[in-house]
Chain A
Amino acid sequence: MPEFILITGRTSKQGAALHKGKDSAEYRLATGFVSMNHEDREHLGVEAGRRVRVRTAFGETELELKEGKLPPGMIFVPMGPAANVLIGAETQGTGMPDSKGLKAEVEPL
């Protein structure tokens, strides 16, 4: 199964959708996807818009696949409930979980 480096973070859409309420369709759409670059997506053999399973050592979740301008081998998930499932609670004495740079697998569904 192809291995990726997972980065989570803010996006402008996620920021704007916050205020629509976290039950809103906008918020779910803004936070419920994973993106990777064109070549990685082709290699994975999944069309954009289809769902994939993303898995880390801490958890797994199903997300919509998008294409984005990312370096090879990197996937991005906006901060939000979906990303949380993939992140561990270990903070190495800092209070900060590893929210960026995690190893992740992506599996077509």
Chain B
Amino acid sequence: MLGIINGEVYDPRNGINGEVRDIWIEDGKIVSASAASPPELGGTEGGRDAAEIIDATGLVVMPGGVDIHSHIVGAKVNAGRKFRPEDHRDHVRSRTSLGPPFRGEVRGATRSGSGYTVPSTYMTGYLYAEMGYTTVMEAATAPLVARHTHEELEDTPILDKGVFITMGNNHFIMNCIRNGQREKARDYVAWLLEATKGYAIKIVNPGGVENWKWGRNVSELDDEVIGFGVTPRQIVTTLAWINDELGLPHVPHIHAINLGQSGNARTTVEMIEALEGRRAHFCHLQFLSYGGKPGKRLRSGAAEVARAVNEHPNITIDVGQIIFGPATTMTSDGPLQYRLHQLTGNKWLNDDVEGETGGGVVPMQYKRNNPFNAVQWLTGMELFLLIDDPWRVFLTTDHPNAGPFFYYPQVIKLLMDRDYRAEMLAGIHHRARKGALLAELDREYSLYEIAIITRAGTARALGLQNKGHLGVGADADVTIYAKLDDKEEMFARPRYVLKDGEVVVRDGRLVHERPGRTLYVTPPYDAGIEADLRTHFEECYTISFDNYPVAAEYLPHCEVVPCA
């Protein structure tokens, strides 16, 4: 039994807004959270005296952070690490041994690592935990290489993780849509999620990535996918229907078309409307909320997009806030990555994946005094401030696309402190600043709202019943902060972080390493689909059907999240 007593608790899911509470933990779960302490424990031995107590008087207690969209593992991330030694050289972490030897065993030695925008796996786990985050969703994996992703996840300690599986350019699905066989597509999606041990449907530039294999792209919802006769609109709406049919815990996670281009606010709003009320999540919306004319100067289109989000309660979004400094862009959006290579002249990785998807990686540097980057920065800020319902707008930097995840505390400070925001705004390129709506937005986020956009809201959007809150039965993932005026400092160095009820971080430093779990779904499907799939594999793949699924042995630490 462990108690966190007298803390100022922010647990939005349970409506607790800064009230003093005691939280009791046993076997990795929250067993009691109430103003009355201690809980009934039956006898003195198990009583409060025998429990481990964390005195949280004057401290802020929140559920562990839940990141809804981050690129931390898998083929693209690793390709990014591999071709960017310049990213790692000055950003290293030494191995440590935690605590003295016990009965001849060295306990809990941590691993070394390197990397700034693309840290190595162990380092990623440690850095997230040290920032108070305990659950992170890997935002995109091609099904064909999901086995790789799971190998890396097993080497990413502490965090609970899930993987989004890219399906927006999948040949089998596009064939089904063309042939009017959406039930077959539904069964395939269920099979694919189980085969890849995935958590959610990811859609990246639907149809555009397939067209890139012909050197082309899509730019409108009704453009045709070469060789398939289907459209981005059909792909998105079919997958949204499938998602509802399967009752997946998360919703389709959409990276829309025209990412990064002037005037894309229009197609983003069109895609929101195309869903006709079906639930969906739009990721790193900042990159998809630009005004101006296509090919012309970039302007913020945040107002237009935020209005559409406000009017569509079926939609959640994460922002993908630009952080000034180095980044590594990496998406499944092949044509986008080529465009970034041409724009920047930076080195370019591309990887087309047979019958499924593609992708690329290009290093990036976001500069305050670059008018383009400055517009990107304020577009993200405006989205945060213009979308009314904090349960539908979430904090991300689309790590490492818009900046590294360990800058979340800076973003929190920007949201909570309008003076700091004004100071940042004053430092960006004058052309971007001129007439910017951001200057007029004086909204400040409260701690309660921060708790929503960083854990309660993301957990709810992901359908994680046991995460993002501190009610009875929740996973005992808890972060305890000192209450500081400087919110960046406050959120960068939690006083304690607990994972499954064990203290893993103290005063911002890792003190205990343990494995995290991989969360995945197993929606039911008609097994009759296998015969079709065998034919599909023989025609389309260079590996056999039997060697495709990721076996359970790859996930020694896992948890199946139920479908509705």
Determine whether A and B are in direct contact in the complex, meaning some CB atoms lie less than 8 angstroms apart. Answer: no
